[in-house]
Structure 1
Amino acid sequence: MADLNKWTPSDFLEPFRRFLDGDLTQSSIRVEQFLDGSTLVVRAEVPGIDPETDVDVSVADGMLHIKAEREEKSEQQDKYGYRSEFRYGSLSRSVSLPPGTREEDVTATYKDGVLEVRAPAPEQAPATEKRKIQVNRS
Protein backbone atom coordinates (compact mmCIF):
# COMPACT_ATOMS: atom_id res chain seq x y z
CA MET A 1 0.00 0.00 0.00
CA ALA A 2 1.29 3.49 -0.79
CA ASP A 3 2.66 5.69 2.00
CA LEU A 4 -0.21 8.10 2.71
CA ASN A 5 1.90 10.25 5.02
CA LYS A 6 3.43 11.91 1.94
CA TRP A 7 1.85 14.61 -0.17
CA THR A 8 -0.28 13.40 -3.05
CA PRO A 9 -0.64 15.19 -6.39
CA SER A 10 -4.09 16.41 -5.33
CA ASP A 11 -2.52 18.18 -2.33
CA PHE A 12 -0.25 20.17 -4.66
CA LEU A 13 -3.05 20.88 -7.12
CA GLU A 14 -5.66 21.97 -4.54
CA PRO A 15 -4.81 25.71 -4.72
CA PHE A 16 -4.98 25.60 -8.53
CA ARG A 17 -8.34 23.76 -8.42
CA ARG A 18 -9.72 26.42 -6.09
CA PHE A 19 -8.39 29.15 -8.40
CA LEU A 20 -10.02 27.58 -11.47
CA ASP A 21 -13.29 26.98 -9.59
CA GLY A 22 -13.35 30.61 -8.44
CA ASP A 23 -12.95 29.63 -4.78
CA LEU A 24 -10.28 32.20 -3.95
CA THR A 25 -12.42 33.57 -1.14
CA GLN A 26 -12.25 30.26 0.69
CA SER A 27 -9.31 29.47 2.92
CA SER A 28 -7.85 26.03 3.17
CA ILE A 29 -8.41 23.98 6.30
CA ARG A 30 -5.28 22.75 8.04
CA VAL A 31 -5.22 18.98 8.11
CA GLU A 32 -2.96 16.17 9.16
CA GLN A 33 -3.32 12.77 7.59
CA PHE A 34 -1.81 9.46 8.58
CA LEU A 35 -2.45 5.73 8.53
CA ASP A 36 -3.84 3.93 11.57
CA GLY A 37 -3.37 0.35 10.44
CA SER A 38 -5.10 0.29 7.06
CA THR A 39 -7.36 3.27 7.90
CA LEU A 40 -6.62 6.74 6.56
CA VAL A 41 -7.18 9.28 9.33
CA VAL A 42 -7.65 12.94 8.42
CA ARG A 43 -7.80 15.47 11.25
CA ALA A 44 -8.97 18.94 10.36
CA GLU A 45 -8.53 21.96 12.58
CA VAL A 46 -11.93 23.72 12.65
CA PRO A 47 -12.41 25.37 16.05
CA GLY A 48 -15.48 27.40 16.88
CA ILE A 49 -17.97 25.60 14.61
CA ASP A 50 -21.13 23.67 15.28
CA PRO A 51 -20.49 20.27 13.66
CA GLU A 52 -24.21 19.72 13.06
CA THR A 53 -24.77 22.90 11.06
CA ASP A 54 -21.43 24.44 10.05
CA VAL A 55 -19.53 21.58 8.45
CA ASP A 56 -20.12 19.43 5.38
CA VAL A 57 -18.13 16.24 4.89
CA SER A 58 -18.65 14.41 1.61
CA VAL A 59 -16.99 11.76 -0.54
CA ALA A 60 -17.06 11.67 -4.33
CA ASP A 61 -14.85 10.20 -7.04
CA GLY A 62 -12.19 8.96 -4.63
CA MET A 63 -11.86 12.31 -2.86
CA LEU A 64 -12.81 13.42 0.65
CA HIS A 65 -14.23 16.97 0.71
CA ILE A 66 -14.49 19.02 3.91
CA LYS A 67 -16.21 22.40 3.89
CA ALA A 68 -16.87 24.55 6.96
CA GLU A 69 -18.51 27.90 7.63
CA ARG A 70 -17.25 29.80 10.64
CA GLU A 71 -18.69 32.85 12.36
CA GLU A 72 -17.25 34.20 15.58
CA LYS A 73 -18.50 37.23 17.48
CA SER A 74 -17.27 38.88 20.64
CA GLU A 75 -18.61 41.91 22.44
CA GLN A 76 -17.10 43.76 25.35
CA GLN A 77 -18.56 46.68 27.24
CA ASP A 78 -16.92 48.38 30.18
CA LYS A 79 -16.61 51.87 31.66
CA TYR A 80 -14.26 52.87 28.81
CA GLY A 81 -16.63 51.99 26.00
CA TYR A 82 -17.97 49.25 23.78
CA ARG A 83 -15.94 46.93 21.57
CA SER A 84 -17.27 44.40 19.08
CA GLU A 85 -15.35 42.00 16.84
CA PHE A 86 -16.46 39.38 14.38
CA ARG A 87 -14.75 36.94 12.05
CA TYR A 88 -16.42 34.78 9.47
CA GLY A 89 -15.60 32.86 6.36
CA SER A 90 -15.62 29.61 4.45
CA LEU A 91 -12.96 26.97 4.73
CA SER A 92 -12.48 23.93 2.51
CA ARG A 93 -10.09 21.10 1.84
CA SER A 94 -10.04 18.00 -0.38
CA VAL A 95 -7.92 14.91 0.24
CA SER A 96 -7.38 11.82 -1.93
CA LEU A 97 -8.77 8.61 -0.46
CA PRO A 98 -6.87 5.33 -0.71
CA PRO A 99 -7.81 3.28 -3.79
CA GLY A 100 -10.70 0.92 -3.09
CA THR A 101 -12.13 2.92 -0.16
CA ARG A 102 -15.86 2.34 0.13
CA GLU A 103 -17.70 5.63 0.58
CA GLU A 104 -20.21 4.09 3.00
CA ASP A 105 -17.37 3.11 5.40
CA VAL A 106 -16.12 6.68 5.91
CA THR A 107 -16.97 8.14 9.35
CA ALA A 108 -16.48 11.54 10.99
CA THR A 109 -16.37 12.79 14.60
CA TYR A 110 -15.83 16.25 16.12
CA LYS A 111 -14.21 16.96 19.48
CA ASP A 112 -12.42 20.00 20.94
CA GLY A 113 -12.24 21.88 17.63
CA VAL A 114 -10.87 18.94 15.65
CA LEU A 115 -12.85 17.09 12.99
CA GLU A 116 -11.58 13.53 12.53
CA VAL A 117 -12.52 11.56 9.42
CA ARG A 118 -11.64 7.86 9.20
CA ALA A 119 -11.60 6.06 5.86
CA PRO A 120 -10.87 2.33 6.09
CA ALA A 121 -9.08 1.01 3.04
CA PRO A 122 -8.99 -2.58 1.85
CA GLU A 123 -5.78 -4.39 2.68
CA GLN A 124 -5.06 -4.61 -1.03
CA ALA A 125 -6.24 -2.06 -3.53
CA PRO A 126 -8.28 -3.56 -6.34
CA ALA A 127 -6.08 -4.32 -9.32
CA THR A 128 -6.73 -2.31 -12.41
CA GLU A 129 -6.36 -4.19 -15.62
CA LYS A 130 -3.95 -2.97 -18.21
CA ARG A 131 -5.70 -2.36 -21.49
CA LYS A 132 -3.84 -2.17 -24.74
CA ILE A 133 -5.06 0.53 -27.12
CA GLN A 134 -5.10 -0.32 -30.81
CA VAL A 135 -3.25 2.19 -32.98
CA ASN A 136 -4.91 2.59 -36.36
CA ARG A 137 -3.20 3.92 -39.43
CA SER A 138 -4.89 6.82 -41.13
Structure 2
Amino acid sequence: MNKQVARTTSPLADMLEWLDLGAPKARRGVGLAPYLRVEDFVEDGTYVLRAEVPGMDPDKDISVTVQGGMLTISGERREEKKDRNHEEFHYGSFQRSVSLPEGADVDRIEASYTDGVLEVRVPTSSGEKQEATTVPVKRS
Protein backbone atom coordinates (compact mmCIF):
# COMPACT_ATOMS: atom_id res chain seq x y z
CA MET A 1 0.00 0.00 0.00
CA ASN A 2 1.36 3.40 -0.95
CA LYS A 3 0.58 6.36 1.27
CA GLN A 4 1.16 9.87 0.10
CA VAL A 5 2.48 12.19 2.80
CA ALA A 6 1.74 15.87 2.43
CA ARG A 7 4.73 18.14 2.86
CA THR A 8 4.04 20.86 5.37
CA THR A 9 6.02 24.05 5.09
CA SER A 10 5.21 27.61 5.82
CA PRO A 11 3.99 29.81 2.96
CA LEU A 12 6.84 32.22 3.71
CA ALA A 13 9.44 29.46 3.37
CA ASP A 14 7.90 28.38 0.05
CA MET A 15 7.96 31.97 -1.21
CA LEU A 16 11.60 32.51 -0.21
CA GLU A 17 12.59 29.24 -1.87
CA TRP A 18 10.74 30.27 -5.02
CA LEU A 19 12.47 33.67 -4.99
CA ASP A 20 15.86 32.03 -4.50
CA LEU A 21 15.45 29.60 -7.40
CA GLY A 22 14.23 32.25 -9.85
CA ALA A 23 16.57 35.05 -8.84
CA PRO A 24 19.20 36.50 -11.14
CA LYS A 25 22.70 35.05 -10.68
CA ALA A 26 23.94 38.01 -8.61
CA ARG A 27 21.06 37.65 -6.11
CA ARG A 28 21.06 33.89 -5.55
CA GLY A 29 21.60 32.67 -2.01
CA VAL A 30 19.30 35.32 -0.53
CA GLY A 31 16.49 32.86 0.27
CA LEU A 32 16.67 29.61 2.17
CA ALA A 33 19.80 28.20 0.48
CA PRO A 34 22.72 29.47 2.55
CA TYR A 35 25.71 30.31 0.44
CA LEU A 36 28.41 29.29 2.90
CA ARG A 37 27.15 26.68 5.34
CA VAL A 38 29.16 26.30 8.55
CA GLU A 39 29.14 24.35 11.79
CA ASP A 40 31.16 24.96 14.93
CA PHE A 41 31.94 23.14 18.14
CA VAL A 42 34.56 22.92 20.92
CA GLU A 43 36.79 19.85 20.99
CA ASP A 44 39.49 19.33 23.65
CA GLY A 45 39.86 23.03 24.39
CA THR A 46 39.93 23.98 20.70
CA TYR A 47 37.22 25.95 18.89
CA VAL A 48 36.54 24.24 15.55
CA LEU A 49 34.73 25.86 12.62
CA ARG A 50 33.95 23.81 9.53
CA ALA A 51 32.65 25.29 6.26
CA GLU A 52 31.40 23.60 3.10
CA VAL A 53 33.39 24.92 0.13
CA PRO A 54 33.40 22.09 -2.40
CA GLY A 55 35.27 22.31 -5.67
CA MET A 56 37.46 25.22 -4.62
CA ASP A 57 41.24 25.61 -4.56
CA PRO A 58 42.21 26.75 -1.05
CA ASP A 59 45.45 28.30 -2.37
CA LYS A 60 43.67 30.55 -4.88
CA ASP A 61 40.00 30.82 -3.93
CA ILE A 62 39.76 30.89 -0.10
CA SER A 63 41.01 33.37 2.50
CA VAL A 64 40.83 33.05 6.30
CA THR A 65 41.46 36.19 8.36
CA VAL A 66 41.13 37.21 12.01
CA GLN A 67 40.59 40.77 13.18
CA GLY A 68 39.00 42.20 16.30
CA GLY A 69 37.85 38.85 17.68
CA MET A 70 36.13 37.91 14.41
CA LEU A 71 37.11 35.00 12.16
CA THR A 72 36.24 35.65 8.51
CA ILE A 73 36.18 33.14 5.67
CA SER A 74 35.98 34.74 2.25
CA GLY A 75 36.58 33.71 -1.30
CA GLU A 76 35.25 33.44 -4.79
CA ARG A 77 33.78 30.59 -6.79
CA ARG A 78 34.54 31.28 -10.43
CA GLU A 79 32.08 30.27 -13.10
CA GLU A 80 33.26 28.13 -15.97
CA LYS A 81 31.77 29.12 -19.31
CA LYS A 82 29.58 26.21 -20.41
CA ASP A 83 26.31 25.82 -22.24
CA ARG A 84 23.98 24.69 -19.43
CA ASN A 85 20.41 23.49 -19.44
CA HIS A 86 19.95 23.95 -15.71
CA GLU A 87 21.96 25.78 -13.05
CA GLU A 88 21.74 25.77 -9.25
CA PHE A 89 25.38 26.33 -8.33
CA HIS A 90 26.26 29.65 -6.73
CA TYR A 91 29.09 31.62 -8.29
CA GLY A 92 30.82 34.82 -7.21
CA SER A 93 32.29 36.21 -4.02
CA PHE A 94 31.26 35.09 -0.55
CA GLN A 95 32.11 36.01 3.02
CA ARG A 96 31.10 34.63 6.41
CA SER A 97 32.23 35.98 9.80
CA VAL A 98 31.87 34.43 13.24
CA SER A 99 32.85 35.67 16.70
CA LEU A 100 35.74 33.81 18.29
CA PRO A 101 35.28 32.56 21.86
CA GLU A 102 36.93 34.24 24.80
CA GLY A 103 40.54 33.19 25.27
CA ALA A 104 41.09 32.39 21.58
CA ASP A 105 44.79 32.14 20.77
CA VAL A 106 44.84 33.82 17.34
CA ASP A 107 48.59 33.22 16.96
CA ARG A 108 48.06 29.44 16.85
CA ILE A 109 45.12 29.18 14.41
CA GLU A 110 45.37 26.37 11.87
CA ALA A 111 43.25 25.79 8.77
CA SER A 112 43.01 22.70 6.56
CA TYR A 113 40.98 21.71 3.50
CA THR A 114 39.88 18.12 2.92
CA ASP A 115 37.20 16.75 0.60
CA GLY A 116 35.50 20.13 0.11
CA VAL A 117 35.40 21.03 3.80
CA LEU A 118 37.48 23.88 5.24
CA GLU A 119 38.30 23.30 8.91
CA VAL A 120 39.66 26.10 11.09
CA ARG A 121 40.98 25.16 14.54
CA VAL A 122 41.50 27.87 17.16
CA PRO A 123 43.12 26.87 20.47
CA THR A 124 41.64 28.58 23.52
CA SER A 125 43.33 29.36 26.81
CA SER A 126 40.69 27.40 28.68
CA GLY A 127 38.63 24.59 27.21
CA GLU A 128 35.68 25.41 29.43
CA LYS A 129 33.22 28.21 28.88
CA GLN A 130 33.34 30.88 31.55
CA GLU A 131 30.39 31.06 33.89
CA ALA A 132 28.09 34.05 33.53
CA THR A 133 28.59 36.73 36.13
CA THR A 134 25.52 38.45 37.57
CA VAL A 135 25.96 42.18 37.99
CA PRO A 136 23.67 43.76 40.57
CA VAL A 137 21.69 46.77 39.37
CA LYS A 138 21.53 49.63 41.87
CA ARG A 139 18.68 52.10 42.06
CA SER A 140 19.66 55.74 42.02
Question: Scaled by the length of structure 1, what TM-score is found?
Answer: 0.60
Partner of 1:100: 103
Answer 1 or 2: which has greater strand percent.
1
Structure-1 separation of matches of 2:44 and 2:55: 30
Structure-1 separation of matches of 2:67 and 2:49: 16
Task: Output the amino acid matched with 1:104.
Answer: D
Segments of structure 2 that go 5 or more residues without pairing to the other structure are: 1-25, 30-34, 131-140
Task: Output the amino acid matched with 1:122.
Answer: S
Structure-2 separation of matches of 1:26 and 1:100: 36
Segments of structure 1 that go 5 or more residues without pairing to the other structure are: 1-23, 76-82, 127-138
Task: Identify which range, 66-75 or 94-103, moves more after superposition.
Answer: 66-75
Partner of 1:41: 48
> CA separation of 1:117/1:26 partners in 2, compared to 1, >3 Å: closer, same or farther?
farther
Structure-2 separation of matches of 1:71 and 1:31: 20
Q: 1:46-79: per-residue Cα shift (whole Å, max 9, x none)?
A: 111110010110011111000020024264xxxx
> In percent, how many aligned pairs have the same letter?
48
> CA separation of 1:74/1:107 partners in 2, compared to 1, >3 Å: closer, same or farther?
same
Structure 1 residue runs of 4 or more that deviate by more than 6 Å after TM superposition = none
Say whether the 8 Å CA contact 1:64–1:94 is kept in structure 2.
Answer: yes
Q: Which has the higher contact order (CA 8 A, sep 6+)?
A: 1
Give SS of 1:104's match.
helix
